[in-house]
Amino acid sequence: MIVEFGVKALLTLFVVIDPVGLVPWFATLTGGRTPAEQATIARRAVLIAAAVLLFFAVAGGPLLAYLGISVAALQIAGGLLLFRIAVDMVFAQLRRETAEEEAEARAREDVSVFPLAIPLIAGPGALASILILASETRGEPGPFGLVLAMAGLVLLVAYLFLRVSAHFTRFLGQTGINVVTRVLGLVLAALAVQYVVDGLVGLGLPLGRG
């Protein structure tokens, strides 16, 4: 029983965090930085995401209940944050006409906290999943510790994938990264809208149902 629960927690968190899917986002957001800077950003992003997930696992349920915040509201808020990043990726990059301007803009951004740690790694899906899994343990130390262990394992895998993103960047080159940035901006915008729609459905709005 405990093994089945551990497998369930591992698969759930792996799917919602999606370490493989983080690679192109990381490459586009840190493409103008040195390998050492990328390693620092990757480590900081994963550690911050781990802290956020740990906090939600321990205190998320009681805190949201106390504040009267539902998981659906959390999805809507995360979707709005993602949409802001998507707009920046699609339009702000187009306004950076020179390499010097782009390098300066990237140097001033700290992407490790936002959007990497939150909401790309510790996003609405991951936060909701950790809340649900933690609630299923009913406060028992063994299963709860297993949930935390599975979350740590997935985050470790995510960190390893982020570290290889430099090879992805070198393969595409700056022009390829610029193209991917714009395309991913459109995809991210659609993902953000889907988060909002899911949240609205969770609040009881019958969207998309004829």
- Would the pLDDT of 96 be above 70? no
Cα distance between residue 173 and residue 52, in whole Å: 33
Mean pLDDT, residues 109-131 taken together? 87
Only one residue has tokens 């740990």, namely 54
Q: What are the tokens at 8?
A: 């369930």
4-13 pLDDT, tens per residue? 999 989 998 9
What are the sequence ranges of the domains in the chain?
A: 2-201
- Would the pLDDT of 71 be above 50? yes
The end-to-end CA distance of the chain, in Å, is: 40
Cα distance between residue 37 and residue 6, in whole Å: 34
Mean pLDDT, residues 66-81 taken together? 81
48-58 pLDDT, tens per residue? 999 999 999 99
Mean pLDDT, residues 63-83 taken together? 81
Contact between residue 143 and residue 5 where contact means Cβ atoms under 8 Å apart = yes
